[in-house]
Structure 1
């Protein structure tokens, strides 16, 4: 039988930004890849790309969360709020602000509670950064965002439960 950690590590979510030909895949908890169909990157501006990437972030998180809950359902674990402390923890977790930035600081992804996502791309980035490099940098920023959120959730758990 596959244990929960292994099952969570096997999660794969593939999404496409609505109305675009931009796709992303999340593997496990933090493995993200981004791809563009032919000629999409060269004709998109930063503003449209920001909106598309924010949509992708929402879709990836929703897909991951759905598979996570499915994996939990197959165990005896309860992740529901059982008391006032749990309710407060869940409310505080929903307010966690996390950020992920590319190494060159051209791409910044932010979230509040992994529900509301925003992406900022420095003007001129699409013109100056080749598609493959942009995809790598955006994926790295997204991974850092997830890691930042996870670290803050871990700290929050310590405050509430240790």
Structure 2
């Protein structure tokens, strides 16, 4: 199991928001970096960034899930639901609500089952924060979202499987 855990920890996903020059990279399960192409942030607005960050989050999760499944397949570990309890666990997991907010409260992310992802950016944030500050605050919010989601999945797993 140690090799599988190492493989899962080593998953790295890099994606670009459709129609933009905004990228996100996930490493070490919770370490997310957001980068902007040249002059992109300077012309951005909060609503556009909300859409782009939500798209990035969905793409990162899809990329992580793809690599996770490949690692599981290579390990020969069978994670196929076997009974009603497994199906109920998966159903409950898909309903988990989690969220994360930057330390300054300007950027927040919420999700339901890591499928429905929403981003809210406070008015004036782009004007008041430099690109690097914005990226750092977004990273804070994303990291908290991921950690809360993983903690709730772990709690659910204990409830179902002991």
**SS of residue paired to 2:98:** strand
5+ long unaligned stretches in structure 2: none
Q: Which residue of 1 aligns with 2:67?
A: 67
SS, match of residue 74 in structure 1: helix
Deviations 1:89-122 (A, max 9, x none): 0000000001011001100001100111100000
- Deviation digits for residues 37-66 of structure 1, max 9, x if unmatched? 111111111000000000000000000000
Instruction: Confirm or deny that 1:120 pairs with 2:124.
Output: no
Deviation at residue 77 of structure 1 after TM alignment: 1.5
TM-score, length-normalised on structure 2? 0.97
Q: Does 1:4 align with 2:7?
A: no
Q: Which runs of 4+ in 1 moved over 6 A?
A: none
Paired residue secondary structure (1:104):
coil
Instruction: Give deviations 1:125-159, integer Å, cap 9, x for gaps.
Output: 00001100100110111111010000000110111
Q: Which runs of 5+ in 1 are unaligned?
A: none
What are the superposed Cα offsets for residues 12-56 of structure 1, whole Å, 9 maximum, x if unpaired? Answer: 100000000100100121110000011111111100000000000
Deviates more, 1:129-138 or 1:72-81: 72-81
Shift of 1:76: 2.6
Paired position in structure 2 for 1:97: 97
SS of residue paired to 1:150? helix
Give the RMSD, CA atoms, in angstroms: 1.2
- Distance between the aligned counterparts of 1:90 and 1:111, measured in 2? 16
Question: What is the CA-CA distance between 1:78 and the residue it aligns to?
Answer: 1.7
* Alignment length (residue pairs): 162
Partner of 2:146: 146
Q: Output the CA distance in 1 between the equivalents of 2:123 and 2:129.
A: 11
List aligned pairs for 1:9-28, cutoff 5 A: 9-28=9-28
TM-score by length of 1: 0.97
